[in-house]
């Protein structure tokens, strides 16, 4: 198979494209750091999930179901911003394999509430452990005050007008924690 070089003839493939000189002040430094940090942050769990035949969608579902027991399927769709069809496939697999259970609401029997099973909890704990190890390793290279700066930066990156119920809960707990 021939070697394909996507770089233009005047550009060395090993050199990054220079920043545009049009005054845009694009943050290539942060953009690329976020890209690679995300790649490695989710890469650790990806390897673990592969053994189960699961992917990132399974991880996201398990994460939010574990963290917010009784989460409504409708709210999970909003949080993940995926279609009902996409969630349905992942949810069916997690239900069939015993990682989560679905219960009807006490007041509204049409509600489908999701809970992690002990098997699901163990998986989420393992995945979160891998990610916590990576976070702690990075924080060890910084000062203790930097963790708060990082959290403020990441919260600022999230759209505040986002209607997600889980984000509302997260922001409420952050504000509550800040007052204590």
Half-sphere exposure at residue 159, Cβ-oriented, CA atoms within 13 angstroms: 5
The per-residue pLDDT for range 61-118, each reduced to its tens digit, is: 999 999 999 998 988 888 888 889 989 999 999 999 999 999 987 787 888 899 999 9
Mean pLDDT value across residues 41-56: 94
Average per-residue pLDDT for the chain: 83
Write out the DSSP string of 106-144. SS-TT-EEEEE-HHHHHHHHHHHHHHHHHHHHHHHTS-T
163 versus 113: the higher-pLDDT residue is 113
Q: Is the pLDDT of residue 1 over 60?
A: no
Nearest to 73 by CA among 95, 48, 42, 50: 95
Instruction: State residue 167's pLDDT score.
Output: 65
Please return the burial class of 22, using the count of CB atoms within 10 Å of its CB with bins 0-12, 13-18 and 19+: exposed
pLDDT of 175 higher than 70: no
For the beta carbon of residue 17, count every other beta carbon within 10 angstroms.
9
Displacement of CA 16 from its chain's centroid (Å): 28
CA–centroid distance for 177 within its chain: 22
Are 50 and 44 a contacting pair, CB within 8 Å? no
Residues 43-52 have a mean pLDDT of 94
pLDDT of residue 165: 59
Cα distance between residue 77 and residue 71, in whole Å: 10
3-state SS class at 100: strand
Instruction: Please say whether the beta carbons of 132 and 54 come within 8 A.
Output: no
């Amino acid at each position: 198979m021939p070697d394909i070089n996507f770089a233009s003839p005047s550009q060395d493939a090993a050199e990054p494209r220079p920043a545009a000189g049009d005054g845009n002040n694009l943050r290539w430094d942060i953009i690329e750091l976020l890209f690679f940090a995300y790649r490695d942050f989710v890469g650790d769990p990806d390897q673990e999930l592969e053994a189960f035949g699961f992917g990132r969608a399974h991880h996201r579902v398990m994460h939010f179901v574990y963290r917010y027991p009784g989460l409504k399927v409708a709210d999970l769709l909003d949080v993940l911003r995926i279609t009902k069809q996409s969630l349905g496939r992942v949810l069916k697999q997690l239900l069939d394999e015993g990682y989560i259970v679905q219960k009807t609401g006490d007041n509204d029997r049409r509600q489908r509430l999701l809970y992690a099973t002990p098997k699901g909890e163990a998986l989420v704990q393992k995945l979160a452990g891998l990610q916590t190890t990576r976070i702690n390793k990075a924080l060890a290279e910084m000062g203790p005050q930097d963790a708060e700066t990082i959290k403020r930066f990441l919260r600022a990156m999230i759209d505040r007008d986002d209607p997600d119920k889980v984000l509302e809960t997260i922001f409420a707990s952050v504000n509550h924690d800040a007052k204590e």
